[in-house]
Amino acid sequence: MKNKVNIFYFLFICSTIQLVAQDIALYQQFNGRYDYTAIGNTMNTEENGLLGACTILTSSSASLNLSSDQNIVAAYLYWAGSGDGDFNITLNDIEVTAERTFSDALDTDRVFFAAFADVTSIITTLGNTDYTISNFDLTGAISPYCPSGTNFGGWAITIIYGDENLPLNQLNVYDGLQSVPTFLSITLDNLNVLDNEDAKIGFVAWEGDNGIAVNEQLTINGSVISNFPLNPANNAFNGTNSFTGASDLYNMDIDVYNIQNNINIGDTSATISLTSGQDFVMINNVITVLNSQLPDATITIEDYIVNCGDNTIEVFYTVYNINSTAVLPANTPIAFYYNNNLIGQNITQNDIAIDANESNSVLLTLPADADTNVIITGIVDDNGTMAGIITETNEDNNEISFEVELLVIPEIIVLPTIIGCNEGFESSTYNLFEALESIEYNEDDVTFFKALEDLESNSNAILIPYDYHNSFNPETIYVRLASPPCYEIFQFNLSIENCPPYIPQGFSPNNDTHNDWFNIQGLYDIFTEHELQIYNRYGILIYKGDNSKPWYGKINRGLNNKGNTVPVGTYYYILNLNDPNYKSFMGWVYVNY
């Protein structure tokens, strides 16, 4: 989990001039079988001073000699000097431009600069060879600095390399530009000390003088550190290179100190203090190398799925253990937040090896009142309270935020009712597409449902919408119209009405199973209260029927002919539907055999 990184420093100088400086802060961290070396050289021809020569070189060289087991991972070039700065130089005739710059000052007349460039590709390509910095020209800038002995220029390359023979280390590169006299304190955070054996700290510093050792002292966590005889306790910054043993790096230092007795297992920070009564020293680069076997959990979001009108999101993520020196254990917790409220959790399923990863997904449920566009934060190594349970090499890279756009369904649009003729028992046949006459659509994009819940889940669709028989009267039908990335919803009602019956002009009751009865279509089981009267040509009522008694051509009225089939002829009918919407139907029907 995250620990806030704070870099504190205190700078006091016997001057009222407001100085400009940049705090030393973590620039890059490497976790694995890593260590480093450094090369560089001064541009001064001799140590500066009141009686020194006011000259400076425009080029100088140094050699890199790594073993065959040491593979370059990164190389950082720092250069510095008096004046406002020369930020375009060459390294082995390759042009290099400053990517970052730093500045400091003693007073308004004595300002200093430092610059940084990542030269990994150059060093990796050229490998072990002599490296020459050239076109680094301060000849026109140093004159005002010479009378006070503050004229200088120099460069250094820190080379981080991997070696399988090394222990698992945490290597931190810090940089900035902070100066002293009289007192300078720098707190280096983001450390994880699991084993202090062979722990070391290195510096790239500018303008240290071998001949000035007035109250000069370098401490770490309150203990004085030294590297006698190269860097005595009272003159730490004195123009030396700890890697080569050189003592002629006039007015610059590339120093390394063993600090295994000055830092404790469990420490997460270290405080460096420098005092000086006279020597003006500028710290530009600090590197710590500590034995550390820790995982480093990070998380990325690969994709997510949202459904229309649904506040539940499926998020696909990957947990990595890349910048690490140990396995990330199974059951490492993962938490997801919206507006700082926990909305979902998961855990890693397996141990994640160094440089490996694990992918998974989680369902997150947003509150009903969530905005359409929401920012979700995922944090690995978070137990749901924004607190972690795993100690990591880097506690500041566990979190990722990503935006999710919810798919909001528009309001339901109500379409006109489809009216069907009653085919009996309040049932009718419908072509459901008739309800969509007022909208534009492709039939392939339309699905009909009996229930809104089925529409939302896209299940139990009506299979034959062209020939649909209603289940209720009235019945509501729901329409899902695809409208990527979501869909639209319509609804309409199916209604039944009794349509006018169709009365045939004749029939033949001869028992041939064809047209054997007076089949008035749209009558039976629809107008269930109807009454049918049949009269012969003399106006005598010979038959009376209802919903349960269709006319098959037989007589059911009178004394003599009851039960007999009527003879061929024309008969008069009166059909009373007993429906307030319809008058009685009257006419002639012809009976033949």
Instruction: Tell me, yes or no, whether 19 lies in a domain.
Output: no
Instruction: Tell me, yes or no, whether 4 lies in a domain.
Output: no
* Same-domain pairing of 76 and 212: yes
| Among candidate residues 385, 405, 425, the one where a domain is terminated | 405
pLDDT of residue 323: 83
pLDDT of residue 360: 97
* Same-domain pairing of 178 and 264: yes
* Same-domain pairing of 287 and 336: no
Could you state, in chain order, the average pLDDT of each consecutive group of 10 residues for the chain (593 residues)?
30 38 92 94 92 92 97 98 97 98 94 98 98 97 94 98 91 94 85 73 93 86 90 91 95 93 82 88 94 89 91 96 91 97 97 96 94 95 94 88 91 95 89 95 96 93 96 95 91 93 94 92 90 94 95 89 91 94 94 92
Give the number of other Cβ atoms within 10 Å of residue 15's Cβ: 11
* Same-domain pairing of 220 and 356: no
* Same-domain pairing of 134 and 31: yes
| Among candidate residues 438, 462, 497, the one where a domain is terminated | 497
Between CA 19 and CA 106 the distance in angstroms is 7
Task: Give the angle 192-198-200 at the CA atoms, nearest 5°.
Answer: 70
Q: Are strands 169-180 and 22-32 parallel, antiparallel or unpaired?
A: antiparallel
Instruction: Tell me, yes or no, whether 336 lies in a domain.
Output: yes
Residue located via tokens 């120099």: 154
**The two structure tokens encoding residue 513:** 């199973």
Instruction: Tell me, yes or no, whether 366 lies in a domain.
Output: yes
Instruction: Tell me, yes or no, whether 113 lies in a domain.
Output: yes
pLDDT of residue 8: 28
* Same-domain pairing of 163 and 247: yes
pLDDT of residue 13: 32
54 backbone dihedrals φ, ψ, rounded to 5°: -95, 60
Contact 154, 40 (CB under 8 A): yes
Using DSSP's 3-state secondary structure scheme, residue 448 falls into strand
Contact 553, 517 (CB under 8 A): yes
pLDDT of residue 4: 27
* Same-domain pairing of 204 and 283: yes
Between CA 220 and CA 254 the distance in angstroms is 17
Instruction: Tell me, yes or no, whether 533 lies in a domain.
Output: yes
Domain span at residue 45 reads 26-291
* Same-domain pairing of 400 and 421: no
pLDDT of residue 195: 55
Between CA 246 and CA 551 the distance in angstroms is 128
Instruction: Tell me, yes or no, whether 546 lies in a domain.
Output: yes
pLDDT of residue 196: 66
* Same-domain pairing of 57 and 44: yes
- Which CATH number characterizes residue 323's domain? 2.60.40.10
* Same-domain pairing of 58 and 176: yes
**The two structure tokens encoding residue 34:** 């890593």
* Same-domain pairing of 371 and 437: no
- Which CATH number characterizes residue 492's domain? 2.60.40
* Same-domain pairing of 485 and 463: yes
Total domains present in the chain: 4
The pTM score is 0.56
| Among candidate residues 258, 291, 324, the one where a domain is terminated | 291
Instruction: Write down how long the chain is.
Output: 593
Instruction: Tell me, yes or no, whether 2 lies in a domain.
Output: no
